[in-house]
Chains A and B, each alone.
Chain A
């Protein structure tokens, strides 16, 4: 007897998706949808909560960015200590092969929609630890999908803020409500 495949888990978003689908089909519904979407995206972009997750040197510059002089709180970026409350992961510093599964697990623990910002040379591609090295991961994008790369070794706090501003642009342009329709099409 072959094992039965498990029944599909009903998604919590399913009613919302259906409502979006119906609204999209109505005359003039697309305009309302766009406005709602704009509002949602605007509020999402204005309160990006990153996971306080420092790996190496770039974490010190990340701390400097949260401190008084550069003050990332102005952008609505408030560090959270647990991945359950975070929607942005700033990978600051080099990631070892030993650490990589933990980074992946933290990323999986974050609720959707989630973003990853790779800060510094080491997180982007291994940086100075690319050659002659047996322990450093050659880029965090081998483990988690990265949205924005910030170069620098370490980047200035301003460069990190610029990366977050770039991510906000990306969030604002996303089809947040219609992404399931886009996936189906």
Chain B
């Protein structure tokens, strides 16, 4: 269209009910069309990388929960401890590895449920939020019985996990898994066939495959664009090499594809949990590691697949009780790059739908 109006700068956030935290978007509009989007970040910068340099390796576990992505506390602990264990040559007993796998997959479920619920609210489907949080509360109850925390667990330790499962927990977990698949079908019934939902998501915010790779998108965002990559398959850690699961891949690259990828990921998570509970070996849960462990001089990079994507921790040790430097490669941060690419050319009403489908957590972006 040749018709153009004067460009309008629209400020969204940092206090906005749909920006999922304290993200500020400076949207340049031509009429109703988006010309450019500039995310303004840093409103939740908690300087956790600097703080880690003053705390011992054990104390940092408590910090990774809060300072990084707060929806996936255990995935953060996993990424950090994987780096610590690789650098220190600390062995993890088999039972602890399987326990970690179970917990990580439950964390993935709870994180995706928060995403689905809040995205539902953004798109006008409030019921989904209530249903998702109903299921999430049951997962949090399961977490609370094992780790003692609802959101922040501090459950993994260098060389294992803190406590073993309580009696009867596996039965409750399997019971939940059976019920959850029915609930997942309910979410599909509510959303997947809904014409309003389809109109707002299908074909909206397309991220082509090339752009996804160039922008460094990772996790479900990249997989929805046809990038068949999952760290759990490519570089297996913990017990992921010994369980069977599929990587859901979609090629459309729009909001609906991202939705389908995450819904299928939840189904695969249930599959992994069932296998892991079935294969759970007996034995030790924690190898002997000092409270103030000293790691040898060196550098290490550990990458994991958090629910948001490729979460990596780069750790440098100078042979002291505290790390010399910790660099966190945050998945939300690299997905935020791709946001501008997705939004350009769409209407201003689609900003919320696209932003919600990317599933960023501002604590992860700013750290």
Contact = CB atoms under 8 A, between A and B. Distances in A.
Contact of A99 (B14, B51, B66): B14
Interface in B6-65: 14-15, 17, 21-22, 42-47, 50-51, 53-55, 62-63
B150 interface: yes
B14 A68 contact: no
B17 A132 contact: no
A17 B46 CA distance: 46
B346 interface: no
A156 interface: yes
A55 B44 contact: yes
A63 B50 CA distance: 30
B43 A94 contact: no
Contact of A132 (B21, B51, B71, B134): B51
B151 A61 contact: yes
B15 A102 contact: yes
Nearest to B13: A102
Interface in B304-324: none
B44 A128 contact: no
Contacts of B43: 96, 98-99, 102
B44 A154 contact: no
Nearest to A80: B17
A68 B136 contact: no
B45 A135 contact: yes
Contacts of B55: 132
Contacts of B133: 63-64, 67-69
B70 A133 contact: no
Interface residues of B, number: 37
B44 A133 contact: no
A135 B47 contact: yes
A56 B137 contact: no
A122 B15 CA distance: 18
A136 B14 contact: no
Contacts of B134: 67-69
B114 interface: yes
A2 B140 CA distance: 67
A136 B70 contact: no
B357 interface: no
Nearest to B130: A68
Contacts of A102: 14-15, 43
Interface string B103-147: 000000000001001100000000001100110110010000000
A52 interface: yes
A96 to B, nearest CB: 6
A69 B45 contact: no
Interface in B59-88: 62-63, 66-67, 70-71
A128 B154 CA distance: 13
B47 A98 contact: no
Contacts of A69: 133-134, 137
B157 interface: no
A53 B70 CA distance: 16
Contacts of A156: 150
Contacts of A55: 21-22, 44
Nearest to B45: A135
A143 interface: no
B136 A136 contact: no
A153 B47 contact: no
B173 to A, nearest CB: 19
Nearest to A129: B46
Given A96-B44, A135-B46, A136-B46, A106 B62 contact: no
Interface in B347-367: 362-363
A61 B44 contact: no
B344 interface: no
Contact of B137 (A64, A94, A98): A64
Interface string A131-169: 111111000000000000000011010000000000000
Interface of B: 14-15, 17, 21-22, 42-47, 50-51, 53-55, 62-63, 66-67, 70-71, 114, 117-118, 129-130, 133-134, 136-137, 140, 150-152, 362-363
27 contacts: A52-B17, A53-B15, A55-B22, A55-B44, A56-B21, A56-B44, A57-B66, A57-B363, A64-B133, A64-B137, A67-B117, A67-B134, A67-B137, A68-B133, A96-B42, A98-B45, A102-B15, A102-B43, A128-B62, A128-B67, A129-B46, A129-B51, A129-B67, A135-B46, A136-B47, A153-B152, A154-B150
Given A60-B71, A68-B133, 8 more contacts: A55-B22, A57-B363, A94-B44, A129-B46, A131-B51, A132-B53, A135-B47, A136-B47
